[in-house]
């Protein structure tokens, strides 16, 4: 009687690479980048070693470096000055604001680079919430928020954005934004909806980078309960019906099951957001010499691909693309 020997297919790198089921390429990656006012600024983010807040001139340089490495999409997150944050978050649709200027600068310098803009009010809101807040009850107001989000989306589209990423989790926003964009002739702007976005502890470093933590309360009335995955299917169904082009799951690693479920049940491409807290954990352990930085980065990213993610938003984009070159 012969014995089954799965190890034969692992004997050497030639056979291993022939039977490898998932591939990771720089083309799968989107690099999130933080932007600040000023010139020649590249300010380190404490809780995210290796990540910076860039002034627009430095941002363009970073985008060029990424493009040359094969990472051809960036997602922009502006750090808005405290004095510009208001309850109505009107800075979110200022055509001369930091966000619009950042988009324009990259599209001018690198027309082939795809630029993704975030849609949510938290960086612009004096309340630090993704939606408008009722000053009496503290409730996050859904429908009035949609109007502001649409203005934000149009502002980004006029600045030349290629993809909008609604990360606000208001109900009905995908359809609302699609209609607003189409009405102004922006039918080519893609919508990558943060369709399953969880109320997560893993966003801590991001909120430090943008100084955007909620002033009061938490985001549990709009972001999803980490205990749920059937609800992710419901959100995905709605976003698909409402016209989303790509469905995103966020955070990434703790929700690989959700990525897998969406991939099995939907035909739209799936994206995963490997968020700031996931990045911080790897960097902290690597800096202590407790794990191998390069191995863990590539293992993390391939796990998203194995689970079914077509696209990965990750702060490791530049490092990973550099590793993949070798």
Contact residues toward ligand PBG (CB under 6 A) are: 118, 120, 122, 130, 167, 203, 206-207, 275-276
Phi and psi torsions of 311, nearest 5°: -125, 145
Nearest to 262 by CA among 295, 294, 240, 292: 240
Nearer to ligand PBG, 56 or 248 (CB): 248
- Cβ–Cβ < 8 Å for 178, 190: no
Cβ atoms < 10 Å from Cβ of 268: 18
Active site residue 215: no
Q: Are strands 311-314 and 270-274 parallel, antiparallel or unpaired?
A: parallel
Q: Residue 52 in contact with residue 43, Cβ under 8 Å? A: yes
Nearer to ligand PBG, 68 or 211 (CB): 211
The nearest distance, CB 5 to ligand PBG, in angstroms, is: 43
In whole angstroms, give the CA distance from residue 64 to residue 55: 14
72, 85, 219, 250: the catalytic one is 250
238 or 281: CB nearest ligand PBG: 281
Min separation Cβ 209 and ligand PBG, Å: 8
Q: Is 67 or 279 the residue whose CB approaches ligand PBG more closely? A: 279
Least distance to ligand PBG from the beta carbon of 19, Å? 34
Among 44, 120, 128, 130, residue whose Cα is nearest residue 76 = 120
Buried b vs exposed e over 281-317: b needs ≥16 C-beta within 10 Å? ebbeebeeeebebeebbbebbbbbbebbbbbbbbbbb
To the query of whether residue 72 is one of the catalytic residues in this protein, the response is no
Catalytic residue among 85, 197, 219, 318: 197
Q: Which two tokens stand for residue 51?
A: 């990540």
Structure tokens at 143: 């429908």
Least CB distance to ligand PBG at residue 232 (A): 16
Shortest gap between Cβ of 113 and ligand PBG (angstroms)?
Answer: 20
Dihedral in degrees, nearest 10, Cα atoms 52, 56, 58, 60: 110
Q: Give the residue with the Cβ less far from ligand PBG, 262 or 313.
A: 313
Catalytically annotated residues: 197, 250
């Amino acid at each position: 009687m012969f014995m089954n020997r799965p190890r034969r297919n692992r004997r050497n790198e030639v056979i291993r690479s022939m039977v490898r089921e998932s591939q990771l390429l720089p083309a799968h990656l989107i690099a999130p980048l933080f932007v600040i006012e000023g010139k020649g600024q590249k300010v380190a983010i404490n809780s995210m070693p290796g990540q910076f807040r860039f002034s627009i001139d430095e941002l363009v340089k970073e985008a060029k470096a990424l493009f040359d490495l094969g990472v051809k999409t960036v997602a922009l997150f502006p750090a808005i000055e405290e004095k510009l944050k208001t309850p109505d978050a009107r800075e979110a649709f200022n055509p001369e604001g930091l966000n619009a200027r950042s988009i324009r600068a990259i599209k001018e310098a690198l027309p082939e680079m795809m630029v993704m803009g975030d849609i949510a009010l938290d960086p612009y809101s004096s309340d630090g919430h993704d939606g408008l807040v009722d000053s009496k009850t503290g409730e996050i107001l859904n429908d009035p928020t949609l109007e502001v989000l649409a203005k934000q989306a149009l502002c980004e589209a006029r600045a030349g954005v290629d993809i909008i990423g609604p990360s606000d989790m208001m109900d009905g926003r995908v359809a609302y934004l699609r209609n607003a964009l189409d009405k102004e002739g922006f039918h080519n702007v893609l919508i990558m909806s943060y369709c399953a976005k969880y109320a997560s502890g893993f966003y801590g470093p991001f909120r430090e980078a943008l100084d955007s933590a909620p002033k009061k309360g938490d985001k549990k009335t709009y972001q999803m309960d980490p205990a749920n995955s059937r609800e992710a299917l419901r959100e995905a169904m709605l976003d698909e019906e409402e016209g989303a082009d790509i469905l995103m799951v966020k955070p990434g690693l703790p929700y690989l099951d959700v990525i897998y479920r969406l991939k099995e049940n939907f035909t739209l491409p799936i994206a995963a957001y490997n968020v700031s807290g996931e990045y911080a954990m790897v960097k902290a352990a690597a800096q202590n010499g407790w794990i191998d930085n390069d191995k863990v980065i590539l293992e993390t990213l391939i796990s998203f691909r194995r689970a079914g993610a077509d696209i990965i938003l990750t702060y490791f984009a530049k490092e990973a693309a550099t590793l993949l070159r070798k």
